Structure 1
Amino acid sequence: MQKHIPNFITLLNVFCGCVATVFAVMNRLEMAAVFVALGIFFDFFDGLAARVLDVKSELGLQLDSLADMITSGLVPGIVMFQLLAMSQSGGWNMDGFSFSNSEFLQFGSFLPFFGFLITMASAYRLANFNLDENQVSSFIGLPTPANALFILSLPLILFYNGSDMVNDIILNPWFLVLLTLLSAFLLNSNLELFALKFKNWSFKDNALRYIFLIVSLVMIITMQFLAIPFIILFYILSSLVNSKM
Protein backbone atom coordinates (compact mmCIF):
# COMPACT_ATOMS: atom_id res chain seq x y z
CA MET A 1 0.00 0.00 0.00
CA GLN A 2 2.73 2.47 0.94
CA LYS A 3 4.33 2.19 -2.52
CA HIS A 4 1.32 4.06 -3.93
CA ILE A 5 1.61 7.03 -1.53
CA PRO A 6 4.24 8.99 -3.55
CA ASN A 7 2.30 8.43 -6.77
CA PHE A 8 -0.90 9.67 -5.12
CA ILE A 9 0.92 12.83 -4.03
CA THR A 10 2.16 13.26 -7.61
CA LEU A 11 -1.44 12.94 -8.84
CA LEU A 12 -2.38 15.77 -6.49
CA ASN A 13 0.21 17.80 -8.40
CA VAL A 14 -1.58 16.84 -11.62
CA PHE A 15 -4.90 17.99 -10.14
CA CYS A 16 -3.42 21.32 -9.06
CA GLY A 17 -1.95 21.78 -12.52
CA CYS A 18 -5.34 21.15 -14.14
CA VAL A 19 -7.06 23.67 -11.86
CA ALA A 20 -4.27 26.20 -12.46
CA THR A 21 -4.70 25.70 -16.22
CA VAL A 22 -8.40 26.53 -15.99
CA PHE A 23 -7.72 29.67 -13.98
CA ALA A 24 -4.91 30.73 -16.35
CA VAL A 25 -7.18 30.35 -19.40
CA MET A 26 -9.84 32.40 -17.57
CA ASN A 27 -7.13 35.02 -16.92
CA ARG A 28 -7.43 34.54 -13.16
CA LEU A 29 -3.67 34.59 -12.93
CA GLU A 30 -3.44 35.11 -9.20
CA MET A 31 -5.50 31.94 -8.59
CA ALA A 32 -3.42 30.09 -11.20
CA ALA A 33 -0.33 31.05 -9.21
CA VAL A 34 -1.86 29.70 -5.99
CA PHE A 35 -2.50 26.28 -7.51
CA VAL A 36 0.88 26.16 -9.24
CA ALA A 37 2.53 26.84 -5.87
CA LEU A 38 0.40 24.10 -4.30
CA GLY A 39 1.33 21.71 -7.11
CA ILE A 40 5.03 22.46 -6.61
CA PHE A 41 4.54 21.75 -2.90
CA PHE A 42 3.22 18.28 -3.78
CA ASP A 43 6.03 17.89 -6.34
CA PHE A 44 8.58 18.39 -3.57
CA PHE A 45 6.91 16.01 -1.15
CA ASP A 46 6.28 13.13 -3.56
CA GLY A 47 10.04 12.71 -3.95
CA LEU A 48 10.56 13.11 -0.22
CA ALA A 49 7.90 10.48 0.48
CA ALA A 50 9.49 8.09 -2.03
CA ARG A 51 12.89 8.46 -0.34
CA VAL A 52 11.51 8.10 3.19
CA LEU A 53 9.42 5.05 2.29
CA ASP A 54 12.15 3.70 -0.02
CA VAL A 55 9.64 3.03 -2.79
CA LYS A 56 11.25 4.86 -5.73
CA SER A 57 10.17 3.45 -9.10
CA GLU A 58 10.43 4.11 -12.82
CA LEU A 59 6.66 4.70 -12.89
CA GLY A 60 7.02 7.41 -10.26
CA LEU A 61 9.77 9.11 -12.28
CA GLN A 62 7.68 9.22 -15.43
CA LEU A 63 4.53 10.29 -13.57
CA ASP A 64 6.44 13.09 -11.85
CA SER A 65 7.59 14.54 -15.16
CA LEU A 66 4.10 14.29 -16.64
CA ALA A 67 2.72 16.18 -13.64
CA ASP A 68 5.44 18.83 -13.95
CA MET A 69 4.61 19.23 -17.63
CA ILE A 70 1.14 20.43 -16.66
CA THR A 71 1.84 22.45 -13.53
CA SER A 72 5.27 23.85 -14.41
CA GLY A 73 5.19 23.65 -18.21
CA LEU A 74 1.72 24.30 -19.61
CA VAL A 75 0.53 26.85 -17.04
CA PRO A 76 3.55 29.20 -17.33
CA GLY A 77 3.11 29.17 -21.11
CA ILE A 78 -0.54 30.21 -20.78
CA VAL A 79 0.37 32.90 -18.24
CA MET A 80 3.00 34.33 -20.59
CA PHE A 81 0.38 34.21 -23.38
CA GLN A 82 -1.94 36.29 -21.23
CA LEU A 83 0.78 38.77 -20.25
CA LEU A 84 1.84 39.25 -23.87
CA ALA A 85 -1.80 39.76 -24.85
CA MET A 86 -2.26 42.34 -22.09
CA SER A 87 0.94 44.10 -23.12
CA GLN A 88 -0.63 44.79 -26.50
CA SER A 89 -4.27 45.31 -25.59
CA GLY A 90 -3.68 47.60 -22.60
CA GLY A 91 -5.93 45.35 -20.54
CA TRP A 92 -4.24 45.89 -17.17
CA ASN A 93 -5.71 48.13 -14.50
CA MET A 94 -5.29 48.35 -10.74
CA ASP A 95 -8.61 46.55 -10.18
CA GLY A 96 -7.34 43.36 -11.76
CA PHE A 97 -6.97 41.68 -15.12
CA SER A 98 -9.54 42.99 -17.59
CA PHE A 99 -8.32 41.26 -20.74
CA SER A 100 -11.00 39.21 -22.49
CA ASN A 101 -10.89 36.68 -25.33
CA SER A 102 -13.14 38.85 -27.49
CA GLU A 103 -10.72 41.77 -27.19
CA PHE A 104 -7.85 39.51 -28.20
CA LEU A 105 -9.68 38.16 -31.24
CA GLN A 106 -10.49 41.69 -32.36
CA PHE A 107 -6.86 42.70 -31.90
CA GLY A 108 -5.76 39.82 -34.10
CA SER A 109 -2.18 39.52 -32.85
CA PHE A 110 -0.17 36.30 -32.91
CA LEU A 111 2.56 37.57 -30.56
CA PRO A 112 0.96 36.10 -27.39
CA PHE A 113 1.39 32.59 -28.81
CA PHE A 114 5.14 33.14 -28.51
CA GLY A 115 4.63 32.53 -24.78
CA PHE A 116 4.17 28.83 -25.46
CA LEU A 117 7.87 28.62 -26.24
CA ILE A 118 8.14 28.20 -22.45
CA THR A 119 5.88 25.15 -22.62
CA MET A 120 7.87 23.68 -25.50
CA ALA A 121 11.19 24.26 -23.73
CA SER A 122 9.76 22.71 -20.54
CA ALA A 123 8.65 19.61 -22.44
CA TYR A 124 12.11 19.20 -23.96
CA ARG A 125 13.79 19.66 -20.58
CA LEU A 126 11.55 17.13 -18.82
CA ALA A 127 12.04 14.52 -21.54
CA ASN A 128 15.79 15.04 -21.39
CA PHE A 129 15.75 14.90 -17.59
CA ASN A 130 14.11 11.46 -17.66
CA LEU A 131 16.95 10.14 -19.82
CA ASP A 132 19.74 11.76 -17.81
CA GLU A 133 20.98 9.61 -14.93
CA ASN A 134 23.43 12.24 -13.63
CA GLN A 135 20.90 14.76 -12.27
CA VAL A 136 20.50 13.32 -8.77
CA SER A 137 22.17 15.69 -6.29
CA SER A 138 22.14 18.62 -8.73
CA PHE A 139 20.31 19.83 -11.82
CA ILE A 140 21.60 20.70 -15.27
CA GLY A 141 19.58 23.73 -16.31
CA LEU A 142 16.84 25.54 -14.41
CA PRO A 143 14.25 23.11 -12.98
CA THR A 144 10.75 23.60 -14.37
CA PRO A 145 9.19 24.36 -10.94
CA ALA A 146 11.68 27.20 -10.36
CA ASN A 147 10.97 28.56 -13.83
CA ALA A 148 7.22 28.32 -13.22
CA LEU A 149 7.51 30.30 -9.98
CA PHE A 150 9.54 32.91 -11.86
CA ILE A 151 6.90 33.35 -14.58
CA LEU A 152 3.92 33.17 -12.19
CA SER A 153 5.48 35.84 -9.98
CA LEU A 154 4.97 38.46 -12.71
CA PRO A 155 1.18 38.80 -12.43
CA LEU A 156 1.47 38.63 -8.63
CA ILE A 157 3.92 41.53 -8.70
CA LEU A 158 1.53 43.46 -10.95
CA PHE A 159 -1.39 42.77 -8.67
CA TYR A 160 0.23 43.21 -5.24
CA ASN A 161 3.67 44.87 -5.52
CA GLY A 162 3.47 46.86 -8.70
CA SER A 163 4.28 50.52 -9.24
CA ASP A 164 3.85 52.47 -12.45
CA MET A 165 7.48 51.87 -13.36
CA VAL A 166 7.42 48.13 -12.50
CA ASN A 167 4.11 47.63 -14.32
CA ASP A 168 5.40 49.37 -17.43
CA ILE A 169 8.47 47.12 -17.44
CA ILE A 170 6.54 43.87 -16.93
CA LEU A 171 3.92 44.72 -19.55
CA ASN A 172 6.47 45.82 -22.13
CA PRO A 173 6.18 43.28 -24.99
CA TRP A 174 9.93 43.38 -25.68
CA PHE A 175 10.66 42.63 -22.04
CA LEU A 176 8.24 39.67 -22.10
CA VAL A 177 9.68 38.32 -25.35
CA LEU A 178 13.24 38.52 -23.98
CA LEU A 179 12.09 36.91 -20.72
CA THR A 180 10.48 34.07 -22.68
CA LEU A 181 13.71 33.48 -24.60
CA LEU A 182 15.74 33.62 -21.38
CA SER A 183 13.38 31.16 -19.73
CA ALA A 184 13.66 28.69 -22.62
CA PHE A 185 17.45 29.02 -22.57
CA LEU A 186 17.84 28.51 -18.82
CA LEU A 187 15.59 25.45 -18.85
CA ASN A 188 17.86 23.68 -21.30
CA SER A 189 21.22 25.24 -20.49
CA ASN A 190 24.28 23.40 -19.19
CA LEU A 191 24.30 25.33 -15.91
CA GLU A 192 24.81 23.05 -12.90
CA LEU A 193 22.36 24.07 -10.17
CA PHE A 194 22.12 22.55 -6.71
CA ALA A 195 19.02 20.59 -5.69
CA LEU A 196 17.10 21.19 -2.47
CA LYS A 197 17.38 17.54 -1.46
CA PHE A 198 18.52 16.94 2.11
CA LYS A 199 20.16 13.56 2.73
CA ASN A 200 20.59 14.59 6.37
CA TRP A 201 19.98 17.70 8.49
CA SER A 202 23.67 18.53 9.09
CA PHE A 203 24.50 22.20 8.46
CA LYS A 204 28.00 21.23 7.32
CA ASP A 205 26.67 18.95 4.57
CA ASN A 206 23.86 21.32 3.57
CA ALA A 207 25.32 24.79 4.22
CA LEU A 208 24.44 26.15 0.78
CA ARG A 209 20.87 24.86 1.03
CA TYR A 210 20.33 26.35 4.48
CA ILE A 211 21.82 29.70 3.47
CA PHE A 212 19.67 29.78 0.35
CA LEU A 213 16.48 29.04 2.33
CA ILE A 214 17.28 31.65 5.00
CA VAL A 215 18.13 34.37 2.46
CA SER A 216 15.02 33.49 0.45
CA LEU A 217 12.81 33.75 3.55
CA VAL A 218 14.26 37.15 4.44
CA MET A 219 13.72 38.38 0.87
CA ILE A 220 10.10 37.19 0.82
CA ILE A 221 9.36 38.89 4.16
CA THR A 222 10.90 42.19 3.05
CA MET A 223 9.98 42.24 -0.65
CA GLN A 224 6.92 39.96 -0.89
CA PHE A 225 6.25 38.70 -4.43
CA LEU A 226 8.89 41.02 -5.88
CA ALA A 227 11.43 38.77 -4.14
CA ILE A 228 10.71 35.73 -6.33
CA PRO A 229 12.68 36.82 -9.44
CA PHE A 230 15.58 37.84 -7.18
CA ILE A 231 15.44 34.48 -5.39
CA ILE A 232 15.70 32.66 -8.74
CA LEU A 233 18.63 34.90 -9.69
CA PHE A 234 20.27 34.23 -6.32
CA TYR A 235 19.70 30.49 -6.84
CA ILE A 236 21.49 30.58 -10.19
CA LEU A 237 24.39 32.77 -8.99
CA SER A 238 24.96 30.79 -5.77
CA SER A 239 24.96 27.56 -7.80
CA LEU A 240 27.55 28.97 -10.19
CA VAL A 241 29.77 30.08 -7.29
CA ASN A 242 29.38 26.70 -5.62
CA SER A 243 30.29 24.82 -8.80
CA LYS A 244 33.53 26.83 -9.07
CA MET A 245 34.61 25.99 -5.50
Structure 2
Amino acid sequence: MKKYIPNLITLLNVFCGCVATVFAVSNQLEMAALFVFLGIFFDFFDGLAARVLKVQSELGVQLDSLADMITSGLVPGIVMYQLLAMAMGGGWHTGDGVSFSFLYLADYVPFLGFLITLGSAYRLAKFNIDENQVSSFVGLPTPANALLILSLALILQYQNNDALNGIILNQWFLIFITALSTYLLNANIPLFALKFKTWSFKDNAVRYIFLIVSAVLLLTLKFLAVPCIIVFYVVASLVANVDAVKNRS
Protein backbone atom coordinates (compact mmCIF):
# COMPACT_ATOMS: atom_id res chain seq x y z
CA MET A 1 0.00 0.00 0.00
CA LYS A 2 2.77 2.44 0.89
CA LYS A 3 4.13 2.38 -2.68
CA TYR A 4 1.00 4.26 -3.82
CA ILE A 5 1.34 7.13 -1.34
CA PRO A 6 3.87 9.25 -3.31
CA ASN A 7 1.85 8.86 -6.52
CA LEU A 8 -1.33 9.92 -4.71
CA ILE A 9 0.48 13.05 -3.51
CA THR A 10 1.60 13.70 -7.09
CA LEU A 11 -1.99 13.37 -8.28
CA LEU A 12 -2.95 16.06 -5.76
CA ASN A 13 -0.43 18.24 -7.61
CA VAL A 14 -2.23 17.41 -10.86
CA PHE A 15 -5.58 18.33 -9.29
CA CYS A 16 -4.21 21.65 -8.04
CA GLY A 17 -2.86 22.37 -11.50
CA CYS A 18 -6.25 21.68 -13.08
CA VAL A 19 -8.02 24.00 -10.63
CA ALA A 20 -5.35 26.67 -11.12
CA THR A 21 -5.86 26.41 -14.90
CA VAL A 22 -9.58 27.12 -14.52
CA PHE A 23 -8.88 30.19 -12.38
CA ALA A 24 -6.13 31.43 -14.72
CA VAL A 25 -8.41 31.17 -17.76
CA SER A 26 -11.05 33.09 -15.79
CA ASN A 27 -8.44 35.77 -15.05
CA GLN A 28 -8.66 35.12 -11.29
CA LEU A 29 -4.90 35.13 -11.04
CA GLU A 30 -4.59 35.29 -7.25
CA MET A 31 -6.65 32.07 -6.93
CA ALA A 32 -4.60 30.49 -9.69
CA ALA A 33 -1.46 31.39 -7.73
CA LEU A 34 -2.89 29.85 -4.55
CA PHE A 35 -3.48 26.47 -6.21
CA VAL A 36 -0.09 26.57 -7.94
CA PHE A 37 1.50 27.10 -4.51
CA LEU A 38 -0.45 24.11 -3.19
CA GLY A 39 0.62 22.06 -6.20
CA ILE A 40 4.29 22.93 -5.66
CA PHE A 41 3.86 21.98 -1.98
CA PHE A 42 2.65 18.52 -3.04
CA ASP A 43 5.42 18.37 -5.66
CA PHE A 44 8.02 18.76 -2.91
CA PHE A 45 6.49 16.17 -0.62
CA ASP A 46 5.85 13.44 -3.18
CA GLY A 47 9.58 13.03 -3.76
CA LEU A 48 10.27 13.27 -0.03
CA ALA A 49 7.64 10.60 0.67
CA ALA A 50 9.12 8.33 -1.99
CA ARG A 51 12.59 8.62 -0.46
CA VAL A 52 11.41 8.14 3.12
CA LEU A 53 9.26 5.14 2.22
CA LYS A 54 11.94 3.85 -0.19
CA VAL A 55 9.44 3.34 -2.98
CA GLN A 56 11.02 5.41 -5.78
CA SER A 57 9.87 4.22 -9.19
CA GLU A 58 10.11 5.16 -12.85
CA LEU A 59 6.34 5.61 -12.87
CA GLY A 60 6.67 8.18 -10.11
CA VAL A 61 9.33 10.08 -12.06
CA GLN A 62 7.18 10.27 -15.19
CA LEU A 63 4.02 11.15 -13.26
CA ASP A 64 5.86 13.91 -11.41
CA SER A 65 6.91 15.56 -14.68
CA LEU A 66 3.40 15.29 -16.11
CA ALA A 67 2.04 16.99 -12.97
CA ASP A 68 4.67 19.74 -13.23
CA MET A 69 3.73 20.29 -16.87
CA ILE A 70 0.24 21.31 -15.78
CA THR A 71 0.92 23.17 -12.54
CA SER A 72 4.27 24.76 -13.38
CA GLY A 73 4.12 24.77 -17.18
CA LEU A 74 0.62 25.38 -18.49
CA VAL A 75 -0.63 27.71 -15.74
CA PRO A 76 2.30 30.19 -15.92
CA GLY A 77 1.82 30.37 -19.70
CA ILE A 78 -1.85 31.27 -19.25
CA VAL A 79 -1.02 33.80 -16.53
CA MET A 80 1.56 35.49 -18.77
CA TYR A 81 -1.02 35.50 -21.57
CA GLN A 82 -3.45 37.33 -19.28
CA LEU A 83 -0.81 39.82 -18.15
CA LEU A 84 0.18 40.57 -21.75
CA ALA A 85 -3.49 40.94 -22.68
CA MET A 86 -3.91 43.46 -19.86
CA ALA A 87 -0.77 45.32 -20.95
CA MET A 88 -1.89 45.44 -24.59
CA GLY A 89 -5.42 46.46 -23.69
CA GLY A 90 -6.90 43.67 -25.77
CA GLY A 91 -6.73 39.94 -26.32
CA TRP A 92 -8.65 37.47 -24.18
CA HIS A 93 -11.42 38.99 -22.11
CA THR A 94 -13.36 37.04 -19.52
CA GLY A 95 -16.61 38.08 -17.99
CA ASP A 96 -19.83 36.24 -18.59
CA GLY A 97 -17.97 34.35 -21.31
CA VAL A 98 -14.76 34.24 -23.29
CA SER A 99 -14.29 36.23 -26.46
CA PHE A 100 -11.40 36.69 -28.81
CA SER A 101 -10.39 39.65 -30.94
CA PHE A 102 -7.88 39.30 -33.76
CA LEU A 103 -8.40 42.59 -35.55
CA TYR A 104 -4.93 43.98 -34.85
CA LEU A 105 -1.40 42.65 -34.56
CA ALA A 106 -1.44 43.51 -30.84
CA ASP A 107 -4.18 40.92 -30.35
CA TYR A 108 -1.67 38.17 -31.13
CA VAL A 109 1.08 39.38 -28.79
CA PRO A 110 -0.37 37.78 -25.61
CA PHE A 111 0.12 34.33 -27.16
CA LEU A 112 3.86 34.86 -26.67
CA GLY A 113 3.18 33.98 -23.03
CA PHE A 114 2.85 30.34 -24.05
CA LEU A 115 6.56 30.29 -24.88
CA ILE A 116 6.88 29.64 -21.14
CA THR A 117 4.72 26.53 -21.51
CA LEU A 118 6.77 25.34 -24.49
CA GLY A 119 10.03 25.94 -22.63
CA SER A 120 8.68 24.08 -19.60
CA ALA A 121 7.68 21.08 -21.72
CA TYR A 122 11.14 20.93 -23.30
CA ARG A 123 12.87 21.23 -19.95
CA LEU A 124 10.78 18.49 -18.32
CA ALA A 125 11.39 16.14 -21.25
CA LYS A 126 15.15 16.73 -20.94
CA PHE A 127 15.02 16.30 -17.17
CA ASN A 128 13.43 12.86 -17.48
CA ILE A 129 16.34 11.52 -19.55
CA ASP A 130 19.16 13.41 -17.82
CA GLU A 131 20.90 11.34 -15.15
CA ASN A 132 23.03 14.31 -14.03
CA GLN A 133 20.17 16.19 -12.34
CA VAL A 134 19.76 14.04 -9.26
CA SER A 135 21.27 16.23 -6.52
CA SER A 136 21.31 19.48 -8.52
CA PHE A 137 19.60 21.11 -11.51
CA VAL A 138 20.74 22.36 -14.88
CA GLY A 139 18.54 25.31 -15.72
CA LEU A 140 15.78 26.87 -13.64
CA PRO A 141 13.32 24.26 -12.26
CA THR A 142 9.76 24.69 -13.53
CA PRO A 143 8.26 25.29 -10.03
CA ALA A 144 10.70 28.17 -9.43
CA ASN A 145 9.86 29.63 -12.83
CA ALA A 146 6.14 29.31 -12.11
CA LEU A 147 6.58 31.23 -8.85
CA LEU A 148 8.45 33.95 -10.75
CA ILE A 149 5.63 34.43 -13.28
CA LEU A 150 2.79 34.20 -10.76
CA SER A 151 4.50 36.66 -8.42
CA LEU A 152 3.99 39.38 -11.06
CA ALA A 153 0.22 38.98 -10.80
CA LEU A 154 0.37 38.99 -7.00
CA ILE A 155 2.52 42.13 -6.93
CA LEU A 156 -0.11 43.84 -9.08
CA GLN A 157 -2.89 42.66 -6.78
CA TYR A 158 -1.39 43.24 -3.33
CA GLN A 159 1.74 45.40 -3.47
CA ASN A 160 -0.22 48.58 -4.26
CA ASN A 161 2.68 50.42 -5.88
CA ASP A 162 2.01 52.52 -8.97
CA ALA A 163 5.64 52.40 -10.12
CA LEU A 164 5.77 48.60 -9.91
CA ASN A 165 2.39 48.31 -11.60
CA GLY A 166 3.60 50.49 -14.45
CA ILE A 167 6.66 48.30 -14.96
CA ILE A 168 4.78 45.00 -14.78
CA LEU A 169 2.05 46.14 -17.17
CA ASN A 170 4.59 47.30 -19.73
CA GLN A 171 4.33 44.90 -22.67
CA TRP A 172 8.07 45.07 -23.41
CA PHE A 173 8.92 44.16 -19.81
CA LEU A 174 6.55 41.17 -19.96
CA ILE A 175 7.96 40.03 -23.30
CA PHE A 176 11.47 40.30 -21.83
CA ILE A 177 10.46 38.26 -18.76
CA THR A 178 8.84 35.66 -21.03
CA ALA A 179 12.00 35.31 -23.11
CA LEU A 180 14.25 35.31 -20.04
CA SER A 181 12.27 32.65 -18.17
CA THR A 182 12.06 30.45 -21.28
CA TYR A 183 15.83 30.73 -21.64
CA LEU A 184 16.57 30.07 -17.96
CA LEU A 185 14.43 26.93 -18.00
CA ASN A 186 16.77 25.35 -20.55
CA ALA A 187 20.02 27.21 -19.94
CA ASN A 188 23.15 25.19 -19.24
CA ILE A 189 23.46 26.74 -15.78
CA PRO A 190 24.09 24.47 -12.77
CA LEU A 191 21.75 25.30 -9.87
CA PHE A 192 21.75 23.73 -6.42
CA ALA A 193 18.76 21.75 -5.17
CA LEU A 194 17.29 22.08 -1.68
CA LYS A 195 18.09 18.47 -0.85
CA PHE A 196 19.97 17.90 2.41
CA LYS A 197 22.04 14.72 2.66
CA THR A 198 23.27 15.90 6.08
CA TRP A 199 22.34 18.80 8.36
CA SER A 200 25.95 20.04 8.52
CA PHE A 201 26.30 23.77 7.85
CA LYS A 202 29.66 23.21 6.20
CA ASP A 203 28.18 20.82 3.65
CA ASN A 204 25.05 22.92 3.08
CA ALA A 205 26.23 26.49 3.59
CA VAL A 206 24.76 27.80 0.34
CA ARG A 207 21.40 26.16 1.11
CA TYR A 208 21.18 27.56 4.64
CA ILE A 209 22.21 31.03 3.50
CA PHE A 210 19.66 30.89 0.69
CA LEU A 211 16.85 29.90 3.07
CA ILE A 212 17.75 32.62 5.59
CA VAL A 213 18.01 35.36 2.94
CA SER A 214 14.73 34.17 1.35
CA ALA A 215 12.93 34.35 4.71
CA VAL A 216 14.19 37.89 5.33
CA LEU A 217 13.18 39.02 1.84
CA LEU A 218 9.69 37.53 2.21
CA LEU A 219 9.17 39.28 5.54
CA THR A 220 10.33 42.66 4.22
CA LEU A 221 9.29 42.74 0.56
CA LYS A 222 6.22 40.46 0.54
CA PHE A 223 5.44 39.26 -3.01
CA LEU A 224 8.16 41.46 -4.50
CA ALA A 225 10.56 39.14 -2.69
CA VAL A 226 9.81 36.25 -5.08
CA PRO A 227 11.61 37.61 -8.18
CA CYS A 228 14.42 38.81 -5.89
CA ILE A 229 14.74 35.30 -4.44
CA ILE A 230 14.86 33.74 -7.93
CA VAL A 231 17.65 36.15 -8.94
CA PHE A 232 19.52 35.41 -5.71
CA TYR A 233 19.06 31.66 -6.31
CA VAL A 234 20.69 31.86 -9.74
CA VAL A 235 23.53 34.12 -8.54
CA ALA A 236 24.20 32.00 -5.42
CA SER A 237 24.29 28.86 -7.56
CA LEU A 238 26.78 30.42 -9.96
CA VAL A 239 29.00 31.55 -7.06
CA ALA A 240 28.80 28.13 -5.40
CA ASN A 241 29.64 26.44 -8.68
CA VAL A 242 32.71 28.65 -9.16
CA ASP A 243 33.87 27.75 -5.66
CA ALA A 244 33.32 24.07 -6.38
CA VAL A 245 35.39 24.30 -9.53
CA LYS A 246 38.20 26.05 -7.64
CA ASN A 247 38.11 23.43 -4.90
CA ARG A 248 38.38 20.60 -7.42
CA SER A 249 41.34 22.27 -9.08
User: TM-score if structure 1 supplies the norm length?
Assistant: 0.94
Distance 1:107 1:154, change over 3 A: farther
Describe the SS at the equivalent of 2:234.
Answer: helix
Q: Distance in 1 between matches of 2:109 and 2:226?
A: 26
Where in structure 2 are the equivalents of 1:167-186 lying within 5 Å? 167-186=165-184
Where in structure 2 are the equivalents of 1:60-99 lying within 5 Å? 60-89=60-89
Where in structure 2 are the equivalents of 1:77-156 lying within 5 Å? 77-89=77-89, 100=95, 104-105=100-101, 109-156=107-154
C-alpha distance after superposition, 1:148-174 (max 9, x if no partner): 000000010001113111111101111
Q: Distance in 2 between matches of 1:163 and 1:184?
A: 27
C-alpha distance after superposition, 1:68-122 (max 9, x if no partner): 000000000000000000001179xxxxxx8656675276511111100000000
Amino acid at match of 2:228: F
Amino acid at match of 2:134: V
Describe the SS at the equivalent of 1:211.
Answer: helix
Confirm or deny: 8 A CA contact 1:86 1:99 kept in the other structure.
no
Determine what percentage of the aligned residue pairs are the same residue. Answer: 71
Aligned to 2:219: 221
Q: Distance in 2 between matches of 1:110 and 1:170?
A: 19
User: Is 1:30 aligned to 2:26, yes or no?
Assistant: no
Confirm or deny: 8 A CA contact 1:85 1:104 kept in the other structure.
no
Amino acid at match of 2:155: I
User: Is 1:18 aligned to 2:14, yes or no?
Assistant: no
Q: Distance in 1 between matches of 2:181 and 2:102?
A: 29
Q: Distance in 1 between matches of 2:241 and 2:102?
A: 50
Aligned to 1:95: none
Distance 1:104 1:169, change over 3 A: farther
Structure 1: unaligned runs, 5 residues or longer: 92-97
Confirm or deny: 8 A CA contact 1:87 1:172 kept in the other structure.
yes
Q: Distance in 2 between matches of 1:141 and 1:239?
A: 11
Amino acid at match of 2:226: I
Aligned to 2:59: 59
Q: How many residue pairs were aligned?
A: 239
Q: 1:193 aligns with which of 191, 194, 197?
A: 191
Confirm or deny: 8 A CA contact 2:102 2:108 kept in the other structure.
no
Describe the SS at the equivalent of 2:101.
Answer: helix
RMSD of the alignment, in Å?
Answer: 1.6
Q: CA deviation at 1:205?
A: 1.8
Describe the SS at the equivalent of 1:56.
Answer: coil
Q: Distance in 2 between matches of 1:225 and 1:124?
A: 28
Q: Distance in 2 between matches of 1:53 and 1:159?
A: 40
Describe the SS at the equivalent of 1:133.
Answer: coil
Confirm or deny: 8 A CA contact 1:77 1:116 kept in the other structure.
yes
Describe the SS at the equivalent of 1:105.
Answer: coil
Describe the SS at the equivalent of 1:55.
Answer: coil
Amino acid at match of 2:61: L
Confirm or deny: 8 A CA contact 2:26 2:94 kept in the other structure.
no
Confirm or deny: 8 A CA contact 1:89 1:107 kept in the other structure.
no
Structure 2: unaligned runs, 5 residues or longer: 244-249
Q: 2:235 aligns with which of 231, 234, 237?
A: 237
